[in-house]
């Protein structure tokens, strides 16, 4: 374990500027009443106190990204058609600075899917490898937070490279990965041994503030047993307006669509975030839809996170408990209630 370092709050811009000289640095800033990750600008003070409205998902998995460009042409005396495809998988070096642990942990869920053995995703892997997460442990928790339900916590360093913890006057800084250790080589950072105990106390206080987590270990089997209980799912989804905010703001929602855009003979194939809450997501060309109602779709979203994914991936729940879907749902659908209701109903 590397030694704990310390940076006073007023020195933070110095460190950020040094990082920004080498990479794209994304920090949480206020924009239109929300807190979102944007490129670091010394004139805009980052917001480290509260959790960002949207997680830094786009840093590695852009909302919209080119897979390749295409161009049709003609060649030779007989004007034979040609088609050229040009992929772009390169990613720019990026530092995500000041995400809460839940924002970084989301990529652990991505990794299992995008870095699989059979079809590793070159776009994701390039971006993941080019990105460093300097994560901020939570000094306060909100009533929508439930990271402790899903094996995480307010100081969870999983998925991060560096962990900052707010203490009096500044932050302690710990390297979590080898990649992260290289980032601590900056004169703004000093020895933090004297602050280590205070940092541990902050972490513990946040964890204690979350209280006890309910036992949802049976959620994979419980949700599967309720698959055909559409009355249950209609009840749970009654309020849902199928807006998809929960999926777009979710650090672990990794589904996408592929669409082409172009003019005539040239254009690009794009990958864009998609949402299983939309009717079109599974609509087939015949008109048939295996998930025709919002009850079917919410069942899939909750089922994927708390049943199918953990069944396929060693029990890992595909939710980091950030509570964004709860906080930003316009009609207060609460995934915590649904999972608990399912667990309770399955017990009978």
Shortest Cβ 195–other proteins spacing (Å): 42
Considering the complex, state which of residue 84 and residue 239 has its C-beta at the smaller distance from other proteins: 84
Pick 89 or 341: Cβ nearer other proteins: 89
Query: Please, which residue, 42 or 120, has the CB nearer to other proteins?
Result: 120
Give me the least distance between CB of 217 and other proteins, in Å please: 18
For other proteins, the closer CB: 121 or 198? 121
**Alpha-carbon gap, residue 164 to 101, rounded angstroms:** 10
Residue with tokens 């004007």: 79
- The CB-of-67 to other proteins minimum distance in angstroms stands at 5
Q: Please, which residue, 268 or 324, has the CB nearer to other proteins?
A: 268
Name the residue with tokens 């047993």.
225
Could you give the residue ranges of the DSSP H alpha helices within 217-293?
219-225, 230-237, 245-248
C-alpha dist (Å) from residue 118 to 66, 75, 114: 22, 37, 10
Nearer to other proteins, 152 or 252 (CB): 252
Dihedral, CA atoms, 149, 154, 157, 158, nearest 10 degrees?
20
| Cβ neighbourhood burial of 75 (10 Å; 0-12, 13-18, 19+) | exposed
Query: Of the candidates 221, 299, 305, which has an alpha carbon nearest to the alpha carbon of residue 255?
Result: 305
Nearest distance, CB of residue 35 and other proteins, angstroms: 27
Which residue lies nearer to other proteins by CB, 212 or 314? 314
Tell me how far, at minimum, the Cβ of 331 lies from other proteins, in Å: 23
The residue to which tokens 């442990």 are assigned = 137
- Tally of CB atoms within 10 A around 74: 10
Least distance from other proteins to the Cβ atom of residue 111, Å: 12
Q: Tokens standing for 130?
A: 């080019």
Please tell me whether residue 118 adopts helix, strand or coil conformation.
Answer: coil
Contacts with other proteins by CB under 8 A lie at 67-68, 70, 72, 80-85, 87, 89, 113-114, 116, 118-123, 125, 224, 227-228, 254-260, 262, 264-265, 267, 269, 271, 274, 276, 281-286, 288, 290-291, 296, 300, 303-304, 307-308, 311-312
CA distances for 19 relative to 64, 99, 120, 183, 242, angstroms: 26, 16, 29, 8, 40
Task: Give the shortest CB-262-to-other proteins separation in angstroms.
Answer: 5
Residues 290 and 311: their CA atoms lie apart, in Å, by: 22
């Amino acid at each position: 374990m590397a030694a704990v370092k310390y940076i006073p709050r007023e020195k933070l811009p110095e460190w950020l500027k040094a990082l920004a000289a080498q990479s794209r640095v994304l920090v949480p800033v206020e924009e239109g009443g929300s807190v979102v990750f944007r490129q670091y600008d010394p004139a805009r003070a980052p917001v480290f106190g509260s959790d960002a409205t949207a997680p830094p998902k786009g840093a590695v998995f852009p909302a919209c990204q080119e897979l390749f460009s295409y161009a049709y042409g003609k060649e030779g005396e007989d004007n034979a058609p040609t088609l050229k495809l040009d992929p772009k998988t390169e990613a720019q070096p990026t530092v995500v600075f000041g995400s809460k642990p839940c924002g970084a942990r989301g990529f652990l869920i991505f990794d299992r899917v995008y870095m699989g053995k059979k079809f590793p995703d070159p776009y994701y892997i390039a971006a993941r490898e080019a990105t460093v997460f300097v994560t901020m442990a939570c000094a306060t928790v909100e009533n929508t937070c439930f990271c402790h339900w899903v094996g995480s916590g307010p100081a969870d360093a999983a998925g991060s490279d560096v962990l900052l913890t707010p203490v009096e006057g500044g932050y302690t800084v710990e390297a979590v990965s080898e990649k992260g250790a290289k980032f601590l080589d900056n004169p703004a950072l000093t020895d933090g041994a004297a602050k280590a105990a205070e940092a541990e106390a902050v972490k513990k206080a946040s964890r204690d503030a979350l209280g006890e987590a309910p036992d949802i270990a049976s959620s994979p089997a419980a949700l599967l047993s309720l698959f055909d209980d559409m009355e249950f799912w209609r009840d749970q989804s009654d309020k849902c307006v199928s807006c998809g905010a929960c999926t777009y703001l979710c650090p672990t929602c990794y589904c996408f669509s592929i669409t082409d855009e172009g003019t005539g003979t040239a254009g690009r194939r794009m990958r864009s975030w998609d949402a299983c809450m939309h009717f079109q997501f599974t609509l087939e060309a015949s008109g048939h839809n295996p998930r025709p109602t919002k009850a079917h779709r919410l069942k899939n979203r909750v089922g994927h996170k708390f049943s199918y994914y953990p069944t396929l991936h060693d029990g890992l729940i595909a939710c980091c408990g950030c509570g964004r879907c709860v906080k930003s749902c316009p009609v207060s659908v609460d995934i915590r209630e649904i999972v608990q209701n399912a667990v309770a109903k399955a017990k009978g």
